[in-house]
Structure 1
Amino acid sequence: MASKCMQKPHAIFLPCPAQGHIMPMMHLAKILHSRGFHITFVHTEFNHLHLIRTGAIDPTVEIEGFCFEAIPDGLPQPADANALPDSTESTMSIFKHGLATLRELIRRINGDSQGGPPVSCMIRDAFMSVAQPIGDEFGIPDVAFWPMCGGSFMGFFHIDELIQRGYLFKDANCLTNGYLDTCIDWIPAMPGIRLKDLPTFIRTVDPNDIMLDFSIKVAQTLLKASAIILNTFDELDHEIIEAANHKFRLQRTYTLGPLFALCNQIPNDNLNSVKSNFWKEEMECIEWLDKIADDTVVYVNFGSLAVLTPEQMKEFAWGLANSNHPFMWFIRPDLVSGGSAILEREFLEETKGRGLIAGWCAQKQVLDHPSVGGFLTHNGWNSTLESIHSGVPMLCWPFFGDQQMNCRFACTVWGNGMEIDSDVKISERERVEGAIKELMEGEKGKEMRKNAMKWKEKARKAVEVGGPSHISFDRLVNDLLVMKR
């Protein structure tokens, strides 16, 4: 047997069990694997089986130095085999049911000479904060992965201070009486930030709210982490990350984004067959785009978690139809609350020939297509970062979590986004129609497109050899080899 000093480093990955968290962690796992790390990627039992069903994981294919494990989340199986459990419930349930299995998994790996080298570090999603003590138990570095933008990173660090300063909601009227527009002028590197831009978990009148308490603990465990990895790049978020490093005395932060682009730098990637999409990709959409003129298509996708009411679905559809622009709209099976996402026959007839409705596709491939001229998005961080890297301007319709922060920065700092204004006293369909026309035809849309192309160049340079994200990754690899708990 090889001596301990000759063994490969072994990183065990623990993502939050949601699509938008798993994907960037998979990219990180792949690029570490390309640098000689043995990888154990841990899914929940439900997600693992679901990914096998969709073909994202092929259990018959063995890849040297890269393996999957599963831990229970304790939730009942959905009646619909294609339905996904609520990601928040799944995360909270892992805290009760999955950690004992994770401990046993690490013990098994460390005691089994045939199961790969001993675990040398744990790379966990920042939202899997309850796993933080495991690093102490096994004497391995606890490396936290932050899956959002720098603004949200700073925002989460200040939730506790917001409460201490008395900014917690007094009553439900705070949602509608203008209180959300309150400017917070004391958070470093974020001038002009408002309550409405901060993580939506603060929007509660209950000081004991579960998600509020959870968010505070996420930030607290970040301060204890051996290192923090962020899926962003320096030119986009440098000032904020530096301010956070200074204020909270963070010793090791690594900006590696966009991770999907850094992952594409891997030569002869033998992990191309390993994916992390919860839904099967419909590649016919690329063939449809090939027939459409450049910069004319509005691409629409609300991500993997956002949910519309049936009325919102109807209003949005007709706003899209009335804009008279060709569009591609990805509609998940669970996009509409309380029922299936069925569109009216009149809408389908009205948009026949200029609209494509699909279930799911490789989003980055769509955004890179020359026919796509704009992206109507919920502003999840993965979607926002992919849009930046592709140089596609965004129409922003954020729902919850960190999406409001991403929207704020796209619209007021980066200049490549425009929010669909919910305060305008017209119908929802008219707001959608007007925003699409401004994006695709108006002067503001032209300016957004110029800014989007500038950020595209910066994002692509970040991951090139010698670029800041590439250099940061080299530093991470070297540090992980010597890092101690």
Structure 2
Amino acid sequence: MDPVPHVVIVPYPAQSHIKCMLKLARLLHQKGLYITFINTQTNHKLLVESGGTLWLDNAVGFWFKTVPDGHPSKHTQTYEVWNFLRTHFYDSFLDIILGIEYPVTCIICDGFMTCMNTINAAEKLNIPIMLCWTMAACGFMGFYQAKVLMEKQIIPLKDEIYLTNGYLDKEIDWIPGMEEIRLKDLPNELMLDTKHDYLLNCFLEIAQASDMVSHTIFHTFEALEASLLSEIKTKFSNVYTIGPLQLLLNPISEKESKICYSLWKEEPECVRWLNSKEPSSVVYVNFGSLAVMSVQDLIELGWGLVNSKNYFLWIIRADLLDGKVEVLPQELKEAMKEKGFVGSWCSQEEVLNHQAVGGFLTHGGWGSINESLSAGVPMICWPFKSDQLTNCRQMCKEWEVGMKIGKNTKRDEVEKLVRALMEGLEGERMRKKALEWKKMAEIATSSDGSSYLDIEKLANDIIKLAKN
């Protein structure tokens, strides 16, 4: 009798990455594969406390293992944790794999965890490894440019002056599907001067590692990024597009109670407030799990929302304000009561699919954009860093479902863009386009769609590995 295939899944220790890879783990588990899911100790504690593991209470063949993160008493989505894992993850990971009783068929590793020597560990253990990018193909290709830009001697930038003299407006013309993209649309970690070589070298290492594996998984769907994926498939073998994962999970979820994948408790009051509002009357505002902003930006954003005269549901995380305690002027708090509702965290997919939500003001993280496209909701994008910049460019230029807003934006522009999104012809046009992408995502995840077939192929390829 052939052994049951057993996959070890290694996410990068951040909310959106864990959420995506938990969904992938759940799909593979539903197809009969055994799963060992590796979290950092603190993130696993948060996941358990939020109820994010309750759906596995009676699951057979699904295990969680943890590695130390060096910061057991604090939030672990920081560069300090990144640096700790750079030094300590390899040995902890080997100890876990060597201690697992059931034979491991393969490792599915978050692409960002390759800088923790996961590929070297897999080679040492003689276990096949696949990379999963919890982002769009464009986001991956943005980071992949670390290698290309280095080869072309465009980076590292020699001086800070390059950051201010318009140099980053330079277009690059060698990525099909991302034509006329500018240097400043690529992850900003690549556009650092030589004083930050350490960080740039991390991303160069990640880009180079992507060439070393034979199986690559993207959380996107074929129709959304067809020409770019076609280019990627000329560079990499065995490419799987498996998104949106929630749409693949929906037929399973219909038979179960609500499942949480969050590190923080989701507040049901947010949805109850939405229930009292008219269809498409609310703009949802959430900057994800990592973005931080200044008090001044928060105040300008708040007044812009108030002055737009639209209803808004605003998620303000406890750590949103760059290490500062939230301090909103009393006058703004009073003004927000009429049209706004503020929460600290929510079930984002439930909110975006609520009939009352007509627009989304987002940081442009791929999890948020993917969920908004799946719900057919147009967006305003306020990108902060990393692939958010690339996602925002594609959202506005290629997919035509969003408008960009910049940092240090004043309340008048916030008001103007929110009105355009919720009331204007441009917002209506984007809403129509978003609904078109929603339909294409549903087709991709239907029984003969590209994402459905690719998740089947991925599971079958892992099963074949187990038989070899």
Q: TM-score range by the shorter chain?
A: over 0.9
CA 1:213 to 1:404, structure 2 compared with 1: closer, same or farther past 3 Å?
same
Structure 1 residue 148: deviation in Å?
1.2
Please name the residue that 2:250 is paired with.
264
Structure 1 residue 171: deviation in Å?
2.2
Correspondence for 1:31 among 10, 27, 32: 27
Matched residue type, 1:132: I
Please name the residue that 1:370 is paired with.
355
Structure 1 residue 95: deviation in Å?
2.6
Question: Whole-Å Cα distance in 2 between the matches of residues 435 and 305 of structure 1?
Answer: 24
Structure 1 residue 288: deviation in Å?
0.9
Contact 2:383/2:406, CA 8 A, preserved across alignment: no
Structure 1 residue 173: deviation in Å?
2.7
Consecutive unaligned residues of structure 2, counting only runs of 5 or more, are none
Structure 1 residue 192: deviation in Å?
0.6
Structure 1 residue 394: deviation in Å?
0.3
Please name the residue that 1:155 is paired with.
142
Give runs of aligned pairs for residues 43-122 of structure 1, distance below 5 A: 43-58=39-54, 61-75=57-71, 77-78=73-74, 84-109=75-100, 112=101, 117-122=102-107
Question: Whole-Å Cα distance in 1 between the matches of residues 168 and 177 of structure 2?
Answer: 20
Please name the residue that 2:6 is paired with.
10
Structure 1 residue 328: deviation in Å?
0.3
Please name the residue that 2:430 is paired with.
448
Question: 1:118-164: per-residue Cα shift (whole Å, max 9, x none)?
Answer: 11110110001021122212222101101111112222222122123
Question: Whole-Å Cα distance in 1 between the matches of residues 138 and 309 of structure 2?
Answer: 35
Question: 1:391-424: per-residue Cα shift (whole Å, max 9, x none)?
Answer: 000001000010011100110011101111569x
Question: Whole-Å Cα distance in 2 between the matches of residues 295 and 108 of structure 1?
Answer: 52
Structure 1 residue 58: deviation in Å?
4.8
Contact 1:123/1:142, CA 8 A, preserved across alignment: yes
Correspondence for 1:231 among 214, 219, 224: 219
Give runs of aligned pairs for residues 294-309 of structure 1, distance below 5 A: 294-309=279-294
Tell me, what secondary structure is at the counterpart of 1:235?
Answer: coil
Structure 1 residue 98: deviation in Å?
2.4
Contact 1:73/1:93, CA 8 A, preserved across alignment: yes
Please name the residue that 1:242 is paired with.
230
Question: Whole-Å Cα distance in 1 between the matches of residues 255 and 240 of structure 2?
Answer: 23
Identity of aligned residues (%): 39
Structure 1 residue 54: deviation in Å?
2.5
Tell me, what secondary structure is at the counterpart of 1:384?
Answer: helix
Aligned length: 464
Contact 1:143/1:226, CA 8 A, preserved across alignment: yes
Contact 1:158/1:187, CA 8 A, preserved across alignment: no
Question: Whole-Å Cα distance in 2 between the matches of residues 174 and 417 of structure 1?
Answer: 28
Please name the residue that 1:384 is paired with.
369
Question: Whole-Å Cα distance in 1 between the matches of residues 373 and 261 of structure 2?
Answer: 21
Matched, 1:320 2:305: yes
Tell me, what secondary structure is at the counterpart of 2:171?
Answer: coil
Question: Whole-Å Cα distance in 1 between the matches of residues 369 and 33 of structure 2?
Answer: 29
Question: Whole-Å Cα distance in 1 between the matches of residues 199 and 151 of structure 2?
Answer: 17
Correspondence for 1:279 among 251, 254, 264: 264
Structure 1 residue 50: deviation in Å?
1.9
Structure 1 residue 263: deviation in Å?
1.9
Tell me, what secondary structure is at the counterpart of 1:39?
Answer: strand
TM-score, normalization by structure 1: 0.91
Question: Whole-Å Cα distance in 1 between the matches of residues 54 and 404 of structure 2?
Answer: 40
Structure 1 residue 314: deviation in Å?
1.0
Structure 1 residue 187: deviation in Å?
2.7
Tell me, what secondary structure is at the counterpart of 2:297?
Answer: helix
Contact 1:231/1:259, CA 8 A, preserved across alignment: yes
CA 1:422 to 1:444, structure 2 compared with 1: closer, same or farther past 3 Å?
farther
Please name the residue that 1:81 is paired with.
none
Structure 1 residue 306: deviation in Å?
0.2
Correspondence for 1:251 among 207, 212, 237: 237
Question: 1:424-475: per-residue Cα shift (whole Å, max 9, x none)?
Answer: xxx6111111111111122211111111111111111111111110011111
Contact 1:416/1:449, CA 8 A, preserved across alignment: yes
Matched residue type, 1:99: Y
CA 1:375 to 1:193, structure 2 compared with 1: closer, same or farther past 3 Å?
same
Question: Whole-Å Cα distance in 2 between the matches of residues 171 and 420 of structure 1?
Answer: 27
CA 1:365 to 1:166, structure 2 compared with 1: closer, same or farther past 3 Å?
same
Structure 1 residue 340: deviation in Å?
1.4
Structure 1 residue 267: deviation in Å?
6.4
Matched residue type, 1:141: P
Please name the residue that 2:451 is paired with.
469
CA 1:362 to 1:102, structure 2 compared with 1: closer, same or farther past 3 Å?
same
Matched, 1:133 2:120: yes
TM-score, normalization by structure 2: 0.95
Structure 1 residue 219: deviation in Å?
1.6
Contact 2:42/2:72, CA 8 A, preserved across alignment: no
Structure 1 residue 207: deviation in Å?
7.0
Tell me, what secondary structure is at the counterpart of 1:352?
Answer: helix
Matched residue type, 1:453: L
Matched residue type, 1:431: E
Contact 2:131/2:216, CA 8 A, preserved across alignment: yes
For the aligned residue pairs, the C-alpha RMSD in angstroms reads 2.0
Please name the residue that 1:211 is paired with.
199
CA 1:338 to 1:157, structure 2 compared with 1: closer, same or farther past 3 Å?
closer
Contact 1:391/1:456, CA 8 A, preserved across alignment: yes
Matched residue type, 1:144: L
Question: Whole-Å Cα distance in 2 between the matches of residues 197 and 139 of structure 1?
Answer: 39
Question: Whole-Å Cα distance in 1 between the matches of residues 322 and 282 of structure 2?
Answer: 27
Question: Whole-Å Cα distance in 1 between the matches of residues 290 and 85 of structure 2?
Answer: 19
Please name the residue that 1:431 is paired with.
413
Question: Whole-Å Cα distance in 2 between the matches of residues 479 and 60 of structure 1?
Answer: 25
Matched residue type, 2:122: G
Structure 1 residue 62: deviation in Å?
4.6
